[in-house]
Amino acid sequence: MTYCVGILVEDGLVMIADTRTNAGLDDISTFRKLHLFAVPGERVMALASAGNLSVTQSVVSMLSEGVENPETGALETLYEAPTMFRAAQLIGRAIRRVRAIEREGFEAAQLRFEVSFLFGGQIGDGPMRLYMIYSAGNFIACTQDAPFLQIGEHKYGKPILDRAVTFRTEIYDALKVGLISIDSTMRSNLGVGLPIDLVVVRRGTCHTEVVHRIEAGEPYFHDLRERWSAALRAAHRAIPRPPYGPPDSA
């Protein structure tokens, strides 16, 4: 299991992903799930993955080495894509290509082909975009009305995003809320855990403003977790008790 979130606000893009992958409680490993494809000043793209690890690694490798264009036979990578939309289409083609290669083995082992990606960034003067790409290779775009997308174990982290993030949210406030969303998920699901990788890209710059990995014991993240827990306890204590139940005795 994993949890990745992308937030696209007026100021720019925040991408956050955990690194935990496991085949059981006694077989827990760490793998990077947030990948960068960047040429500073020209393009910057972040790709976060969830699902079968062998499939996601194959897709990422194919995007780096090249996906064959069915019309020209040329190999295309994310570094040549002219727009973010065309880049998202290329990722979809890579997913379908890996599915075609691995289908026989997956069917023989009775395994499901499960994979999804968050893909965000900006190419040149084009618009900044954030997409969710499904296992079929199709995708949807993030909008101002719903300025975040999630993949993996998303249900625990969604309520805080719904309540606290809008398109006008300042970019580092969006990062803070995203980290609270990650913490909420980690507290409820052992399949999501540290280290956490994050990227911040300011709109119109075509380069990363922050690339960071949060390791266990990092002071800021520990403080954020403690403050959020304390704030929740204080909030529920400040709310009046429900007016239900037996009346007060005379």
Q: Which parts of the chain sit beneath pLDDT 50? A: 23, 250
Tell me, yes or no, if the pTM score tops 0.75: yes
Asked if 33 contacts 50 with a C-beta cutoff of 8 angstroms, the reply is: yes
Q: Provide the pLDDT for residue 23.
A: 45
- Tell me the residue length of the chain: 250
Integer Cα distance of 116 and 199 in angstroms = 19
Cα dihedral value 96, 100, 104, 108, nearest 10: 0
Sequence letter at residue 148: F
Q: Provide the pLDDT for residue 200.
A: 98
Q: Provide the pLDDT for residue 190.
A: 84
Q: Provide the pLDDT for residue 24.
A: 55
Token pair in block for residue 14: 């925040």
Q: Provide the pLDDT for residue 245.
A: 86
Other Cβ atoms closer than 10 A to 88 = 25
Tens digits of per-residue pLDDT, 200-241? 999 999 999 999 999 999 999 999 999 999 999 999 999 999
